[in-house]
Amino acid sequence: MTGTPHTLILFAHAMPHTSRVNSALAAAARMLPNVKVHDLYETYPDFHIDVPREQALLEAADLIVFQHPIQWYGMPALLKEWVDVVLEAGWAYGEDATALKGKGFMLAATTGGAADTYQEHGPHHYPFSDFLPPFRQTAQFCGMRWLPPLILHGAHQASQKKVDAHVGQYVRLLSTYPDWAHEQLDQAAPTLIQHPPE
């Protein structure tokens, strides 16, 4: 990779006007040079995805970010449709498929539940990291480098101070890629990047 890295954020929120955290994250990211925030619900309200266009955007990126709320332990419906039709065999994965090889992949997600709800005796019964394998395997199957996700739990209840700190951390990660990514890959990377409770 030469020059300033280009980041593509695939922003998937069906009702961003109702989202305090994801809207703030997207707005902050849009202010950064060499970062494209691609609003999938705005671009494809009919779910008819322009596959060649999406593949061209991916090819131009060095870092690919999925930014969205976690819904039923996974990604929103339009992002799942995007994965299904854009990440084609022979292009994204399979023999001789190199379009995404070596690109960084990061998940920037929010949850409605607090961090302590993701444990054996909480309502979700498992740590949040147990719900990440589909994301991680998708990235790795396509030859991308899985990076520690940035997660904000309890997004609806988070104080403005906590939201501002989270947005600041997102901006720092996007602004300093790939420096921090190399450091993470050179050592035992944490499973998640998340804020401690207030």
Q: What per-residue confidence (pLDDT) applies to 84? A: 97
Q: Is the pLDDT score of 197 beyond 50?
A: no
Q: Is the pLDDT score of 76 beyond 80?
A: yes
Q: What per-residue confidence (pLDDT) applies to 1? A: 47
Instruction: Read off the pTM.
Output: 0.89
Q: Does residue 105 fall inside a structural domain?
A: yes
Burial label, 180 (beta-carbon count in 10 A; 0-12, 13-18, 19+): middle
Q: Does residue 195 fall inside a structural domain?
A: no
Q: What per-residue confidence (pLDDT) applies to 103? A: 96
Nearest alpha-carbon partner for 63 in 140, 174, 188, 172: 174
Q: Does residue 192 fall inside a structural domain?
A: no
Q: Is the pLDDT score of 108 beyond 60?
A: yes
Burial label, 54 (beta-carbon count in 10 A; 0-12, 13-18, 19+): buried
Q: What per-residue confidence (pLDDT) applies to 179? A: 84
Q: Is the pLDDT score of 196 beyond 70?
A: no
Q: What per-residue confidence (pLDDT) applies to 187? A: 46
> 66 forms bridges with which residues in the sheet?
10, 107
Q: What per-residue confidence (pLDDT) applies to 190? A: 47
- Token output for 76: 């929103």
Q: Is the pLDDT score of 77 beyond 50?
A: yes
pLDDT confidence band for 192 (50 / 70 / 90): low
The CA distance from 140 to 152, in Å, is: 23
Q: What per-residue confidence (pLDDT) applies to 10? A: 98
Q: Is the pLDDT score of 2 beyond 80?
A: no
Q: Does residue 118 fall inside a structural domain?
A: yes
* Domain of 149, in residue numbers: 7-184
Mean pLDDT of the region 8-28: 93
Q: Does residue 171 fall inside a structural domain?
A: yes
pLDDT in tens, 143-174: 999 999 999 998 888 889 999 999 999 999 99
pLDDT confidence band for 38 (50 / 70 / 90): very high
Q: Does residue 126 fall inside a structural domain?
A: yes
Q: Is the pLDDT score of 191 beyond 90?
A: no
How far the first Cα of the chain sits from its last, in Å, is: 39
Q: What per-residue confidence (pLDDT) applies to 118? A: 86
Give the chain's domain count: 1
Q: Does residue 196 fall inside a structural domain?
A: no
Q: How far is CA 100 from CA 50, 61, 79, 97, 148, in A?
A: 18, 9, 17, 8, 18
Q: Does residue 39 fall inside a structural domain?
A: yes
CATH number of the domain that residue 162 is part of = 3.40.50.360
What share of the chain in percent tops pLDDT 90? 68
